[in-house]
Structure 1
C-alpha cells in the first residue's frame, strides 16, 4: 500500500487506518519534510527541521488520492515534492495551507491541481471541510478514515476560484508571516 512507503516520514501520528471500502487507507498527523541532521555515530537524528503539519493523507492501493496540510514556508515545497511528489497525479486532490503566502493560487504539478491557500491560524481539517462545503452531519456515524474519503469525494470535479501561478513565481511573493498560536503559556 502507498502509506507503507510514506511511513518513514510519519511524525506525531494521530492515526493510520483502513477505510470501510477495500483498498482505502488514511493517515493524519505530521510528515517529515526536512530531516534533522545525524546526531551521533549510531545514526540517530536531531528533530526534524521542517514538518508538513496537520497532514491528511488518503491512498487507494498505490495511488495518492488526497494530500492536505500546513506548510510553514512555501520554500519547503521542493523538499515535500522530493518525498511525496511522485504520488501526485490527475486524480489527486492536493491542498497546501501555507503560512507565508499573501494570496491563494493554484498550480498544476504532475497532472494534479494543487491549491495553495494562506493560513496563519486555524486547523487544516476545519478549513478543508469548509472549502469542500461539508457539514458535521455529512460525517455522521463514520470512522476517521471514512471521513477523509468523504472529503475526497466532495472534491471530485471541484473548481478553485484562485488564479493560476507557478510555485517559482509564488516564491517571489512570500512574506514573513508566522503561524499564530493561542492557548496556555
Structure 2
C-alpha cells in the first residue's frame, strides 16, 4: 500500500491519521509529508528532521494512487520539489489545493499536467481554511470517522469551482513575497 511505502521510507511526519475509510479501497492520511528529507544523523542511519515538509497535509489514496492532496508549503519553489518526489503516484485527475506562505495572490496553476489551486496563507489551519473555502460547516462531518471526514472534504472539492484566475508557474513565481507563516506557541 502506498501509505505503508511512504511510512517505510520515513516520508510521513507527525502523522495524526493513517487509516482505511469505510468505503471501498480508499485510505486517508493527515499529518506532515516530507518533501526534503533530513540528513543522516548517525552511523545507524537515523535521520535528522526533514528540511522541508508539506504541513497539515490531507491525502486520499485509492488503488495506490493519490486522488486528493491538500496542505501547506512554505514557499512556491517547493511545488516542483513536491511534484518531482510524488508526481508518479498521482491518479489521473488528482485534485490538489495547496496553501502557500509566499505568494501574493491566489491562482490556479497548471504544472506538468496537473491543476493546482494555490492560496496564500500566513495564519490559520489548512483544514479549517479549506472547509471555509468549500462553504462547509462542522455539521457536514458529524458522525463520520476521521478518514470519512477527508472523503467528505474531497467530495466538496470535486464540486468546487475556483474563483481564482489561471497563471503559469513562472507568472506566479514573479509575484512571490517574503511572507512567512506566523507561528504561535510557548514563549
- TM-score using structure 2 length: 0.91
Tell me if the contact between 1:18 and 1:24 (Cα under 8 Å) persists in the aligned partners. Answer: yes
1:129 maps to 131
1:5 maps to 5
Any stretches of 5+ residues in structure 1 without a counterpart?
Answer: none
Any stretches of 5+ residues in structure 2 without a counterpart?
Answer: none
Residue 3 of structure 1, CA deviation: 2.1
CA distance in structure 2 between the aligned counterparts of 1:136 and 1:157, rounded to whole angstroms: 18
Residue 93 of structure 2 aligns to a residue whose secondary structure is coil
RMSD: 1.6
Tell me if the contact between 1:71 and 1:96 (Cα under 8 Å) persists in the aligned partners. Answer: yes
Q: Deviations over 1:24-68 (max 9, x none)?
A: 100011011111222333333222111110011111122211101
Q: Deviations over 1:70-116 (max 9, x none)?
A: 00111111211122222334432101100011100111235432101
CA distance in structure 1 between the aligned counterparts of 2:156 and 2:112, rounded to whole angstroms: 22
CA distance in structure 2 between the aligned counterparts of 1:3 and 1:119, rounded to whole angstroms: 27
Q: In structure 2, do the counterparts of structure 1 residues 89 and 167 end up closer, same or farther at CA, with 3 Å as the change threshold?
A: farther
Residue 99 of structure 2 aligns to a residue whose secondary structure is strand
Of residues 112-121 and 142-151 in structure 1, the stretch that sits farther from structure 2 once superposed is: 112-121
